[in-house]
């Protein structure tokens, strides 16, 4: 028997595309919520066409859309909008990341819905929020990485670099997810739904707290240092004699002393006046790097890792995607499951946060409109009604 999940019985209707809202609603689905994903008839969420890397399906879409039902509606048609309004009568959450103002123009804002749906939680995700001078400005992940200052601190001194995954979308999706959870808790006490306004800029801005404070009152910002740390040294990638790369990080003076004695075989280096405090190691990082690279050159990656582990120094291998797929820790902890998709079963990672109380619902990725007829029948629509909607291309 399946143990109850935290969001069993909760229904989420999501007008979503791309990454931010789908990522948020997928977390809700994993916890047991029924997520009805509203897509455009025929083509669906445009993220379905980003690539064909997963058995002919898009990698972004497969990642963010398991466990959902797909309902196709052309919301420009009154008949389709009427179906959506029927769904909202039984929903707990309306989530949307349409173009700025689009949901409000359809009468789907919190203010427009609250009187007739007082328990409904409405969560809007946008680039910049629902007011202010940037309200109507288009926003994509890269653009928000730029606006939030992320690009200014990421990369090398010669060139800024964006993150290799959609961190602005992910940040916004996670704040939408946690905000919806908190709104559900609050509704349990007050009986009232609430409006949630998630801005991608504000979500990523929160993640930029350290560099912002580092540059407080006009102080110089953290420099771009590639994979190294801007203010702690040694911290980052170092080449090894067998061609590998080891990431390591020293956090305090005790670790520095152990590193010199047990990893570099040079205990006296710990008291060298160039290196006897983090600030001085950081100021003389080029000299120290040369000494570390020289010591590592005579050893293999496994030998360096073993010495670092014995000395209690944090370290890691620089895995590629093949290394992550095959990571022994994920396998040992049983983090992989199989989920269905229109192209057959595919592997999927369990969501973070292993619970003793329940198993996340790892359900299939839907095809475009796969659940449209079932949902319409659930709403009481007859076969003739459904045929009429289909003929009008409203579904």
Query: What confidence tens digit (pLDDT) does each residue in 353-375 have?
Result: 999 999 999 999 999 999 999 99
In angstroms, the Cα distances linking 104 to 19, 28, 124, 125, 204 are 21, 24, 10, 13, 25
pLDDT at position 320 is 87
**Given this model, what pLDDT does residue 91 score?**
98
Q: Find residue 207's DSSP bridge partners.
A: none
Residue 321 to residue 325: CA distance in whole angstroms: 6
> Within a 13 Å sphere around the CA of 226, how many CA atoms are in the beta-carbon half?
9
User: Candidates 3.30.1780.10, 3.30.1540.10, 3.30.450.70, 3.40.50.920; correct CATH number of 235-318?
Assistant: 3.30.1540.10
Per-residue burial over 20-34, b if 16 or more Cβ lie within 10 Å, else e, is: bbbbbbbbbbbbbbb
**Three-state SS at 191:** coil
Please report, for residues 232, 247, 257, 305, the alpha-carbon distance to residue 311 in angstroms, rounded to integers and kept in the order given: 18, 15, 10, 10
Q: Which CATH number fits domain 11-207+328-391: 3.20.20.70, 3.40.50.300, 3.40.50.10540, 3.30.230.10?
A: 3.40.50.10540
DSSP state of 47: G
pLDDT tens, position by position, 248-303: 999 999 999 999 999 999 999 999 999 999 999 999 999 999 999 999 999 999 99
CA–CA separation, 167 and 153 (whole Å): 14
pLDDT of residue 98: 94
pLDDT at 319 > cutoff 90: no
Report pLDDT for 248: 94
DSSP classification of residue 256:
H
The answer to whether 229 is a known catalytic residue is yes
Q: For residue 274, give the DSSP letter.
A: T
DSSP-assigned states of every residue in 83-144: HHHHHHTT-SEEEE--STTHHHHTT-SHHHHHTT-TT-EEEEEESS-SSSTTTT----HHHH
Answer with the residue of higher pLDDT: 90 or 1.
90
Model confidence at 308, pLDDT cuts 50, 70, 90, reads very high
DSSP string spanning 148-167? TTHHHHSB-SS-B---SS-H
pLDDT at site 6: 97
Mean pLDDT of 85-112: 96
Q: Can you tell me the distance from the alpha carbon of 274 to that of 280, in angstroms, rounded to the nearest whole number?
A: 6
Number of neighbouring beta carbons within 10 Å of residue 253: 12
Q: Is the dihedral of CA 38, 59, 166, 139 positive or negative?
A: negative
Exposure pattern of 135-155 as b/e (b: 16+ CB <10 Å)? eeeebebeebbebbbbbbbbe
Say what percent of the chain tops pLDDT 70.
100
Query: Average pLDDT for residues 179-197, to the nearest whole number?
Result: 98
pLDDT band for position 229 (cuts 50, 70, 90): confident
Tens digit of pLDDT for each residue in 18-41? 999 999 999 999 999 999 999 999
Structure tokens, 375: 């949902």
User: Which pLDDT value is given to residue 70?
Assistant: 98
Once rounded to an integer, what is the mean pLDDT over residues 99-123? 96
For residue 64, what pLDDT is reported? 98
Helix and strand numbers, DSSP H then E, in the chain:
18, 11
What is the spatial distance between Cα 315 and Cα 306, in angstroms, rounded to a whole number?
10
- 121-147 mean pLDDT: 95
Q: For the residues 199-213, what does the mean pLDDT come to?
A: 96
pLDDT over 80 (residue 344): yes
What are 43-80's pLDDT values in tens digits?
999 999 999 999 999 999 999 999 999 999 999 999 99
- pLDDT above 80: residue 1: no
pLDDT of res. 225:
86
> How do 314-317 and 336-339 pair as beta strands?
unpaired
Task: Read off the pLDDT band of 210 (50, 70, 90).
Answer: very high
Q: What is the pTM of this model?
A: 0.91
Q: Which of 17, 60, 114, 229 is catalytic?
A: 229
- The model's pLDDT over 152-185, given as tens digits with 9 standing for 90+, comes to 999 999 999 999 999 999 999 999 999 999 999 9
Q: Where are the domains of the chain?
A: 11-207+328-391, 235-318
* Secondary structure letter of residue 54 according to DSSP: B
Q: Which residues contact 329 (CB under 8 A, 6 or more apart)?
A: none
Q: How many other C-beta atoms can be found within 10 angstroms of the C-beta atom of residue 68?
A: 27
Dihedral pair phi/psi, residue 185, rounded to 5°:
-65, -45
H/E stretch holding 253: helix 253-258
Q: At 134, phi and psi to the nearest 5?
A: -95, 5
Summary mean pLDDT of the chain: 95
Cis? peptide before 234, omega within 30° of 0: yes
Beta-strand ranges (E) seen in the chain are: 11-15, 34-39, 68-72, 93-96, 121-126, 195-199, 235-239, 245-249, 314-317, 336-339, 346-349
Q: How high is the pLDDT of residue 231?
A: 83
pLDDT band for position 227 (50/70/90)? confident
Q: What is the mean pLDDT of residues 345-358?
A: 96
């Amino acid at each position: 028997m399946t143990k109850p999940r935290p969001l069993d019985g909760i229904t989420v209707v999501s007008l979503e595309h791309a990454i931010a809202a789908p990522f948020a609603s997928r977390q809700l689905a994993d916890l047991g919520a029924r997520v009805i994903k509203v897509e455009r008839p025929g083509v669906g969420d445009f993220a379905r066409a980003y690539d064909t890397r997963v058995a002919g399906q898009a990698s972004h879409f497969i990642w963010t859309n398991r466990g959902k039902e797909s309902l196709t509606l052309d919301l420009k048609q009154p008949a389709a909008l009427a179906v959506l309004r029927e769904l909202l009568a039984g929903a707990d959450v309306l989530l949307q990341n349409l173009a700025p103002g689009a949901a409000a123009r359809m009468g789907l804002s919190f203010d427009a819905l609250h009187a007739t749906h007082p328990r409904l939680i409405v969560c809007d995700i946008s680039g910049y929020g629902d007011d202010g001078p940037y309200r109507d400005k288009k926003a994509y992940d890269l653009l928000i990485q730029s606006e939030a200052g992320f690009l200014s601190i990421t990369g090398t001194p010669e060139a800024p670099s964006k993150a290799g995954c959609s961190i602005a979308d992910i940040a916004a999706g996670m704040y939408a997810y946690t905000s919806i959870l908190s709104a559900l808790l609050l509704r349990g006490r007050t009986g009232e739904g609430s409006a949630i306004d998630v801005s991608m800029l504000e979500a990523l801005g929160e993640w930029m707290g350290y560099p912002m404070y580092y540059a407080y009152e006009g102080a110089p910002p953290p420099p771009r240092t590639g994979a190294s740390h801007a203010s702690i040294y040694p911290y980052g990638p170092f080449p090894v004699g067998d061609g590998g790369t080891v990431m390591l990080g020293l956090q305090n003076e005790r670790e520095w002393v152990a590193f010199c004695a047990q990893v570099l075989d040079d205990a006296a280096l710990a008291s060298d006046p160039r290196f006897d405090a983090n600030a001085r190691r950081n100021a003389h990082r080029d000299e120290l790097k040369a000494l570390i690279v020289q010591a590592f050159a005579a050893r293999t990656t496994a030998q360096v890792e073993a010495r670092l582990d014995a000395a209690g120094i944090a370290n890691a291998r620089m895995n590629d995607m093949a290394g992550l797929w095959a990571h022994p820790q994920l396998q040992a902890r049983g983090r992989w499951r199989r989920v269905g998709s229109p192209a057959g079963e595919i592997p999927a990672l369990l969501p973070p946060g292993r619970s003793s109380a329940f198993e996340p619902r790892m359900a299939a990725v839907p095809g475009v409109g796969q659940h449209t007829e079932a949902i319409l029948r659930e709403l009481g629509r007859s076969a003739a009604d459904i045929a009429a909607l289909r003929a009008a291309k409203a579904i």
